Amino acid sequence: MRYESPATTKEAVALLAKEKGAAFILAGGTDLLVRMKMGLAEPDLVVDIKRIPDMNTIKTTQTGFRIGAGVSGAQLTAHKAINKAWPGVVEATHLIGSDQIQGRCTMAGNLCNASPAADSVPAMIAAGAKAIVVGKGKRRTVPVEKIVTGPGKTSLKKGEVVEAITLPKPAKRTGDAYLRFTPRTEMDIAVVGVGISMTLERGVVKKARVCLGAVAPTAVLVPAAARALVGSKLDDAALNKLVAACAKACNPIDDKRGTAAYRTRVAGVLAKRAAKIAYKRAGGAA
């Protein structure tokens, strides 16, 4: 196994594009090293991106935030402005593993590992996050919901690497929230996760995004659930429509963490609760 720690994204892309064997990107390593230990990944080349300055920093831009792909959960949690702008995204990312894992894990890694139960992903999608994908000679900006195509699968092509995740600058009176259900409060994998963001005008929901995790092969953005909220002040009728839309969007599996029926039920319950938190954070009267 060759280990490379390039200093620029360009070098990283060149290394990945050139490699004929199995090439892996090492961000936090909290998934890759487990897979290596279990024999599920046998890299010929590992490209460590954490020494690339552009991938290691959080930048505040005119349009929002640019979070490098190597930025750890701990770095994100310590960033005051992002906590204020997108608390749901920070909370979701903070749910990934223990403090030890937080010291290493990254949002981009959580995304590219492509687990249906990744905690940060529904929150990112609800917030309208985008991935900056760099390949040989070109760079594209892709909505986060277009990256994962199935369990363990992404739309990234050979030689492509996510350089950063961007979060928009939230419009005034915007709030977001992420809730997940797990049997244990820490160190567990989501049975269901729900990310919601919304923007209010005079207490009425003007815009919303609702994204479900762990209830389908990928995180699912549910426009019908968002429509249920728009135009409402989160009255019971709107919340009931939200629950129904979420249940309809669920396509879960039965496994040891929960049955499909249970997951479908819980998705609606969490969506309601997350919507109330996001509404309050957006300045709506609770």
Partner 1 sequence: MSDAVLVSTKVNGDVVEFACPTDEVLMDSLRDRAGMNGVKEGCGTGDCGACSVTLDGQLVCSCLVLGVEANGREIGTVEGLTEDGKLHPLQEKFIEHAALQCGICTPGFLVAAKALLDNNANPTETEIRYALAGNLCRCTGYDKIVRAVQATAKDLRKSKKR
Is residue 26 close enough to count as binding partner 1 by CB under 8 A? Answer: yes
CB of 52 to partner 1, least distance (A): 14
Question: Binding partner 1 by CB under 8 A: which of 9, 27, 29, 160?
Answer: 29
Is residue 37 close enough to count as binding partner 1 by CB under 8 A? Answer: yes
Question: Binding partner 1 by CB under 8 A: which of 60, 98, 141, 149?
Answer: 98
Residues 6+ apart with CB under 8 A from 233: 203, 204, 205, 284
Is residue 20 close enough to count as binding partner 1 by CB under 8 A? Answer: no
**How far, in Å, CA of 257 to CA of 183, rounded?**
8
36: which 2 tokens? 């290596």
150: which 2 tokens? 């199935």
**How far, in Å, CA of 272 to CA of 261, rounded?**
18
Is residue 236 close enough to count as binding partner 1 by CB under 8 A? Answer: no
Is residue 11 close enough to count as binding partner 1 by CB under 8 A? Answer: no
Q: Is-contact 65 58, C-beta < 8 A?
A: yes
**How far, in Å, CA of 193 to CA of 181, rounded?**
6
Residue placing its CB nearer to partner 1 in the complex, 181 or 279? 181
CB of 42 to partner 1, least distance (A): 9
**Per-residue binding letters, 176-205, with partner 1 (x by CB under 8 A):** ---------xxx------------------
In DSSP notation, 69-112 reads: TT-BHHHHHT-HHHHHH-HHHHHHHHTSS-HHHHTT-BHHHHHH
Site residues for partner 1 per CB under 8 A: 1-3, 5, 26, 28-30, 33-34, 36-38, 43, 46, 48, 50, 72, 74, 97-101, 103-104, 185-187
